[in-house]
Structure 1
């Protein structure tokens, strides 16, 4: 069956109107942004470190963070986000230097940042634990 040009034009106008009515599919957050959102919603203090595997200081911090994660298991979240693989997370958290640690309290509120390396004791203290 053939549709007349006027009917085809009307169908096109309706589909354009529906497409432009602001009902675009939501874009899911990047993996790093979602990870931080889930951790900060859990009711536990959180440290999120933004770095990259190619960064020597970040690799050194990974060892420290792994130790902190073991000592605070079940009591805090320790996240490592590779911004070379998740640039959207770097943008969302306004990361300008690697490594950057962002600290959140148990209510999910950002309570501090640090750029560069930290000791295990400094991280534990910022999370509210003694080392």
Structure 2
């Protein structure tokens, strides 16, 4: 899944999706989790809505560490869920381990959006 000039990369995480998001010139949030993780399941509808709300302005990407362990490995993920936020230049600016509510997601992303 590639990035166009009109839309930030989104959706399920692959190394290519994350790379495209980090190179898109837009902020990105990557949530590393698993389908069997209870906090991850609770975050799923929050992430789905955030993805819709931030469409075209920021990338929201989910990586299932059980299915895509090779994608998570370079980020040193030890516990799930772990959220990593990247600025428009693709640099990691914050990391959170555990359940994150919508307010936490918004607080991280809104500070990275262009004014």
TM-score, length-normalised on structure 2? 0.82
Q: Which has the higher contact order (CA 8 A, sep 6+)?
A: 2
Aligned equivalent of 2:16: 34
Aligned-pair CA distance for 1:113: 0.3
The correspondence of residues 28-107 of structure 1 with structure 2, limited to 5 A, is 32-107=14-89
Q: Which has the higher helix share?
A: 1
In the alignment, the residues of structure 2 paired with residue 53 and residue 119 of structure 1 have an alpha-carbon distance, to the nearest angstrom, of 18
Aligned equivalent of 1:22: none
Where structure 1 has 5 or more consecutive residues not aligned to the other structure, the ranges are 1-30
Per-residue CA deviation, residues 36-62 of structure 1 (Å, 9 max, x unaligned), is 111110011000000110111111111
Q: Which has the higher strand share?
A: 2
Where structure 2 has 5 or more consecutive residues not aligned to the other structure, the ranges are 1-12
Bigger Rg, which one: 1
Contact 1:101–1:115, Cα closer than 8 Å, also in 2: yes
Choose from 99, 111, 116 the match for 2:93.
Answer: 111
TM-score, length-normalised on structure 1? 0.72
Aligned equivalent of 1:120: 102
Q: Please report the RMSD computed on the Cα atoms of aligned residues, expressed in angstroms.
A: 1.2
Contact 1:32–1:81, Cα closer than 8 Å, also in 2: yes
